[in-house]
Structure 1
């Protein structure tokens, strides 16, 4: 019965997102060929052997898309988790501590946000080792500034509620108030924002790979695949458009689910207020 209450758009988003996740997890079992295996000519058309054709080196495009889903989703998810851990933790600490702690953290975040994120990432990655942990660390830290702003704003609203004041009167410490009062009540907003930040990470990673500072060949990721096959667009070869379409499809499906979660939690809060 609960499935019937899910809007069609959100339900479709769940299915599409689930397909991407399953493809990423079981990539070695699903992909018909190896990630870097050359199995045909350059930019061969779609056929029964190669459902999406081949890429600029003669590798199976469908296999590259499936392996690319594993790389793209794994790195984007890890970077998003890091950004939320840093941003939400520091944002709630700033909101609860106030005073000098709030000012130092907030001005530090303002300083980072004053520099364009992509330019900052390109500068940092150009002088640091081009490894996946470095990529995740840079992406996570840069995006944590946005999460910090959201978490702090939500926490500031929650900390003036009666139940928080009651906890302070009972003598509860700041850590207890943050973890037991503020975080549970801010969780729905943060969960909805998680989906949006995850898609931003996918787009961010794709942009870095397209510019040559993201995932390095022969590893497959969707942004890098667009770069590898972009020359074929001039000749009417759609090899670069397929990974671009996967990025767009993933973004739409995750946003549909995130919007539904946000609307659902907002409605629940409204119903509770009316009651």
Structure 2
């Protein structure tokens, strides 16, 4: 009880301090200025928690998450960075300065330094100080958050699409198919993860176009997954199935071409040029450096997901409800996608959260070593790498993104623990 009440008191004091900062702004210090700047994020978090707790009994596993203190803390940390990244990197509501603009006299300045010669309407402080190029660390931190919270979950989702599409038939059918796919997965897993990342994102490999060819293969799996999913569900209703598949496949194929195309080409190197979508139809911005990182994450994570799904399919296919579906005459893909997969959702959801955390760390590692994203990118790994050169003299430039990376990964791990706890009760 002492530990519990101490936690609640500490949390209450923190909330009061943040509320005071929202009202007072920079007059309450650096934390106060940041708190005021993050007001839209606090509002979004409060609304999310109020609505989720109010309707938690109607929200399934997500609603049960709010019965777990650990799960709620993890969810709060994750959603903080999701909202902060969106409002900082897309809407630009909370950033105070342009992420690439350099301000005279602000090089390596400490947090809370007033901006020299601030004009009317310009934010008068560098809340987290300036970096070695006199750029605002606070603005780069929250603009870079959007890069992380978009690439990590989406790349992990694509890896799950690949792993599920291959893992279900491998576990359900077994035999030579299982042996062949398991051999390929083990072959990839035999290489150290970091080594694979380094190989895939090095400029020499990128120039060969190998990541583009890999993207063309790996990004096709979501189309296969959704096509088989809908076809198996509405197979006996052709009047519904046919128009639904036409719309879904058409939209997904357009998105597929938009993702693998860059400036009108799929592959563009001295030896080969493969045309892609025209620029005016390319509605998904996927710069080449982002595509390489995205493909690397999908390729490295897919074999692990495959093995998890395969193991779950081997176990669940022996259950009575699967035998009942076979007795009813259901097709193999219907059984895999509508009987086995829903009953494997607990472990898969937990692994999905944990894997986003691993991916976040890997993205930070790539940025730290200057691989993948461009050097001026505000992503956290690149920012930490830029700040480490003067770490002993001006540590603030590297500490801020490092703490951001730490809190996001911590939130994902706590969220996974909460989901695991609730899924075991389910």
TM beyond 0.5: yes
- Please state if 1:61 is matched with 2:137: yes
CA contact (8 A) 1:54 1:239 kept: yes
CA contact (8 A) 1:122 1:213 kept: yes
Structure 1 residue matching 2:372: 3-state secondary structure: coil
Structure 2 residue matching 1:131: 3-state secondary structure: helix
Q: What corresponds to 1:167 in structure 2?
A: 325
Q: What corresponds to 2:101 in structure 1?
A: 37
- Please state if 1:14 is matched with 2:75: yes
Which structure has more RCO (C-alpha within 8 Å, separation ≥ 6)? 1
In the aligned structure 1, how far is the partner of 2:329 from the partner of 2:75? 44
Q: What corresponds to 1:249 in structure 2?
A: 407
CA contact (8 A) 2:111 2:396 kept: no
1:74-105 Cα shifts (integer Å, max 9, x gaps): 11112111111101221111101211110010
Matching residue within 331, 344, 360 for 1:186? 344
Q: What corresponds to 1:199 in structure 2?
A: 357
Q: What corresponds to 2:293 in structure 1?
A: 135
1:114-173 Cα shifts (integer Å, max 9, x gaps): 011111121121111552112101211111111111111111111000110121122221
For structure 2, which runs of at least 5 residues remain unmatched after alignment? 1-52, 57-62, 115-124, 208-287
Q: What corresponds to 1:146 in structure 2?
A: 304
Q: What corresponds to 1:102 in structure 2?
A: 178
- Please state if 1:265 is matched with 2:343: no
Matching residue within 366, 373, 382 for 1:208? 366
Q: Higher Cα Rg: structure 1 or 2? A: 2
Q: Aligned pairs, how many?
A: 268
In the aligned structure 2, how far is the partner of 1:39 from the partner of 1:23? 24
In the aligned structure 2, how far is the partner of 1:6 from the partner of 1:230? 41
Q: What corresponds to 2:263 in structure 1?
A: none
Structure 2 residue matching 1:128: 3-state secondary structure: helix
In the aligned structure 2, how far is the partner of 1:260 from the partner of 1:237? 34
Q: What corresponds to 1:272 in structure 2?
A: none
For structure 1, which runs of at least 5 residues remain unmatched after alignment? 269-275
TM-score (norm 1): 0.93
Residue 179 of structure 1: how far off its partner (Å)? 1.1
Structure 2 residue matching 1:29: 3-state secondary structure: coil
Matching residue within 115, 118, 123 for 2:199? 123
